[in-house]
Structure 1
Amino acid sequence: MNSTVPTGGSATPTLDIDRSDPRYRAWLAEAVRKVQADANRSADTHLLRFPLPREWGVDLYLKDESTHPTGSLKHRLARSLFLYGLCNGWIRPDAPVIDASSGSTAVSEAYFAGLIGVPFIAVMPRTTSREKCRLIEYHAGQCHLVDDPRGMYEEAAALAERTGGHYMDQFTYAERATDWRGNNNIAESIYTQLRLERHPVPAWIVATAGTGGTSATIARYVRYMQHDTHVCVADPENSCFFDGWKDHDPAAYSETGSRIEGIGRPRMEPSFVTGAIDRMMKVPDAASVAAARALEQAIGRKAGGSTGTGLWSALKIVAEMAGEGRKGSVVTLICDPGERYLDKYYSDAWLAEQGLDITPYAAAITAFLATGRWSC
């Protein structure tokens, strides 16, 4: 899985290209067309119902982002990042695109890089699941693994400097690249799909945060459209987002990387817009895994750990609403498929190695679905 990225030599600066050259303009137009055509070919993702007793008066939905061509919520982000980079003149013919990622964004970015014919290099923690690495390489991307996740940013920037490539920097540009006012973004899609349901305007939408781009897009859209919806972000262990939001501390930091791939960060990322969020919950990693496994029992679908983090918080909100006699709907996300994590969240050996006991959390979910009482 180690990359064969050049480690020396002078970089070719991004600005060393004549952007008035007809050949470049033709390449750019074709690249943008190909990325936009992918959106046209991709049907919208499904909105699934999680089975709850109807008499509770609360409906729980899961926006299934695992059905994108590259299998995750990050397909939307990668498409937006590529369009943003192309239209800004940052992505050039033959020059590599490089990004720091915990896996799913890199899979999607490798796909779009291949679509427009440029090389792609993913700088990722060495603990990234083997299946994600395989998928990146399937799309002709390279995996450049680092031991300390906190050093991903600097390594990605250094690789871009050495190779003359473009550092995509998803953690900075995620919230800027996506059109949060509409244009079939994830928020607009959720409201459109809920239109004929008994509670068409959700009381809560629960998201998780890696870059923070998804929560920013949803929260901004809610306010822009003046919906009576609140946004909750669920945060795993070993992530600074919850503390940074709670304490209004942009310098919040975590010494340890998140075990839940794709979400939770050691630093407050530029795309994590704290002022747009109504509530955050800190979720134990064992609870995230228990919820992911409970999802499979409920709907027959495996999902990743980040889905479990969001589902745990969504179930807690459902319990609060039902306990208070409030009716309405709650929406959370299926971020990616569980088949990418068979050696982690679906492995009892991995749980034991990590010292995670999911038993009490699994029991709490089972009891809640049977009795309506939340015990955690």
Structure 2
Amino acid sequence: MTLLAAITNPSAAAAAAAAAVAANPIVLTPGAAPPPPTSSALPTQIPPSDWSLSPADPALATAASFLSTSLSSTSVSLPRFRSLLASFLTTLSNSLSLPAPSPNLPQAIRSVSPYFPAALASPVASRAANLAEYDVLLALAECGLLRHPPPSLLSSLSEADRPELVCAVVRQAADLRSSELLATLRCFLSPASNAAYDAMMSVKNRWKEAAVLAVNRCKEKGAGKKVDAMARQAALLLMMGYDGFTSPEVCLHYLFASENVDSLVFGAAVSELDGGEVVTLMKYLTKWIGKYQRFPEAQACPEAVGMPGLELCDIVPSFRVVAGALGLVFDQHFSHLALNAELKEDLKAAEMMVKQLATEAESAGPILDLLRRMQQDV
């Protein structure tokens, strides 16, 4: 039947189609027939009260807006700042049915840190730095609430001779501008005062305590093999980061172990360093190259990071980051380094170490390829 006949005589077209199906039945599911349905009843409808979200507490939004607006005022005094922050923490705890916050503000921030609004962390930190309320700032940084610190925070902390707070902020920050990296580098490479150097010494003392703790764990008897291996690896990392480094250089660990060593941004910051700062940075990075040459078995130990006293294992710069940073320093200041007669021996030592490491990497290449192929065959 033609298309025109089917349109003009639809009843005849339907009869012809039925006859065709009867003569040539279409099997949609070959094989055995599907099992009959167990039940034809529809699922029970869920009442809206069981799945709908409860409305947000308007008091919390009002308190957050009030705190943000109040902190933007330049006339906020230290008592007023403490009162505003304490009031907001109380409202936050009441809104989320949490225990009443401690009167100690740093302790209260740590207790509610998983629920502290990220948008408020930066203005609170900026105002705390301006008012020298450094305990509050430290609590925000240690709780990971300053992933995006305010632009002027690191420079203001450097000017206030608080490099230990710069370490805490840089350790948690995710994306720093070149100006912020430059302020951090200058803070660590050239301490501005005796107070700043004393603060850096306190940072290095924490590394010493952690290294001694890791060594003592290696001596503990009755521990399992996995615990022994973890303790040895942690002790190796911490001793690498402590031995042979000055107090300012230990503070540099926090920068190079963070997520901020981007080639473009870091290169822009390094290009602004003066001659003395470049030399100090080059010697610091060369020390790390020598460490990894001497201890090639050193590697990250995430199991130790979660253990009390061994958290600093996470602040050991990797060989990849160190080598990349050293390359950027040479790219930006090659003429100054090559023409400096005092650096001749240092440059030769760095060249020798890099060549040896490159040779070892090339010799290990075929073995790594063989191991990958064996894993694929298995």
Using the size of structure 1 for normalisation, the TM-score is 0.30
Q: Which has the larger radius of gyration?
A: 2
Q: Which has the larger share of helix?
A: 2
Q: Which has the larger share of strand?
A: 1
